[in-house]
Amino acid sequence: MQYIYNLTIYIMTARCKYEGGPGWGISLFRLDCADCAYNRPCNLERIFSYVVEMKKEMSVLKTSLFTPYTIKNLELKNRVVMAPMCQYSVTAKDGIPNDWHHVHYLSRAIGGTGLIIIEMTDVEPDGRITDYDLGLWSDEHIPAYKKLVDGIHAHGSKVGIQIAHAGRKAEDAAEPVAPSAIAYPDASYKQPRALTTEEVRGMVQKFADAARRAVQAGVDTIELHGAHGYLIHQFHSPVTNKRDDVYGQELSLFGVEVIQAVRKEMPAGMPLIFRISAVEYVDGGYDVDHAIELSRAYQAAGVDVIHVSSGGEGPAGARKPGNYPGYQVPFARQIREALNIPVIAVGALDEPALAQSVIGNEDADLVAVGRGLLRDPYWATHAAVALRGEKPSIPEQYQRGY
């Protein structure tokens, strides 16, 4: 509202100036000079200082998808995030990014994306969904990631990487591991084995080791995958965690320990993102209040930004929202308001005006686009063009196309 009010005044002021209003005076709402906000006769100098002030105020108030965003040492040129999306393209099955990943990620950087989050990257071979996933389980992986990260940086985007373990959803593992020996309720998934308490501690260390390697490869931020029914999510869900050790008594404990261990491997100025499913879709699954309490614990442990998704833990029941534009935005707003923490909204937000409104209405601080960026690597540039008044970031080589 404040923004619309200021915009109205600004336009009326400009009209007054251009129509040669009363003595070039500011006639707010077409009143005489004496009745204007300054309550005294105008002069040219005052008119211009008023306009300059107003413009300054507007630029503060007008937060758009293309307003830069800074959190800790991470400076983004805009608020467009590429959502992590598995490519299942590691043909060598060694977890190492190849030419496909280079072309895929660098073209989204050329396309003006502010932050690119590299797809789910797993902390051990059996933590992959399939053998074609990325991994960071050895120091030998670091150079390939460094080349990828350097390439993305060279085209002006910042880089995050999603560190993960698939747990009971590891499809190609001979025997998947999980908090409890409860299989994903679908015949295509294998029966998992429950991790011992000692193995859970070892798993925390594997996340920390992968984070250290990501930092060595030059990433600007790390995202922990705590959503979509993968290992961290399996630990913090009452549906999948039936343990009777400490990791079952306190459902957030595994996530908290992972966060604390990962943080130790990150520079203090590097923000840590945590992706969470705000609600579970299975009947009897947790709701947003549980997700808020988990996020509170994770924030206290060192998370700076929550990336708000939903579901993925099992077959969808009654709580699954329809896949409408912006279907997860209300969850993002709820978590943002409850915890006063920056959030990334995601989910069918590839209509530029909708993405713009999520930022303008302060539902979220950043907007992630997934499938929209599969269809169009230049989504960010095209969104800026579509939202007239926003400045697209177009590489020199492509200027003549616009």
Ligand X SMILES: Cc1cc2nc3c(=O)[nH]c(=O)nc-3n(C[C@H](O)[C@H](O)[C@H](O)COP(=O)(O)O)c2cc1C
Residues that bind ligand X (CB under 6 A): 83-86, 119-120, 162, 225, 227-228, 275, 309, 346-350, 369-372
CB of 327 to ligand X, least distance (A): 9
Nearer to ligand X, 323 or 340 (CB): 323
CB of 81 to ligand X, least distance (A): 10
- CA–CA distance, 318 with 260 (Å, rounded to integer): 35
CB of 103 to ligand X, least distance (A): 16
Nearer to ligand X, 122 or 209 (CB): 122
CB of 54 to ligand X, least distance (A): 36
Nearer to ligand X, 3 or 88 (CB): 88
- 377: its two tokens: 């690597």
- 101: its two tokens: 């990943």
- The contacts found for 28-37 with CB under 8 angstroms, 24 or more apart, are none
- CA–CA distance, 221 with 282 (Å, rounded to integer): 31
CA distances to 6, 14, 54, 360 from 60, rounded to whole Å, are 11, 19, 10, 12
- CA–CA distance, 229 with 220 (Å, rounded to integer): 26
CB of 388 to ligand X, least distance (A): 23
Range list of H helices, 276-388: 288-301, 329-339, 352-360, 371-375, 379-386
Nearer to ligand X, 178 or 373 (CB): 373
Range list of H helices, 329-395: 329-339, 352-360, 371-375, 379-386
- 154: its two tokens: 């060279």
Nearer to ligand X, 152 or 348 (CB): 348
Nearer to ligand X, 12 or 85 (CB): 85
User: Which residues contact residue 330 at a Cβ distance below 8 angstroms, ignoring those fewer than 6 apart?
Assistant: none
Residue whose CB is nearest to ligand X in the complex, by number: 370
CB of 85 to ligand X, least distance (A): 4
CB of 121 to ligand X, least distance (A): 8
- 300: its two tokens: 């206290």
Range list of H helices, 75-156: 99-110, 142-154
- CA–CA distance, 131 with 86 (Å, rounded to integer): 12
CB of 219 to ligand X, least distance (A): 15
Nearer to ligand X, 350 or 390 (CB): 350
Side-chain-side CA neighbours of 161 within 13 Å: the count stands at: 30
Q: Are 46 and 346 within 8 A, CB to CB?
A: no
Nearer to ligand X, 28 or 124 (CB): 124
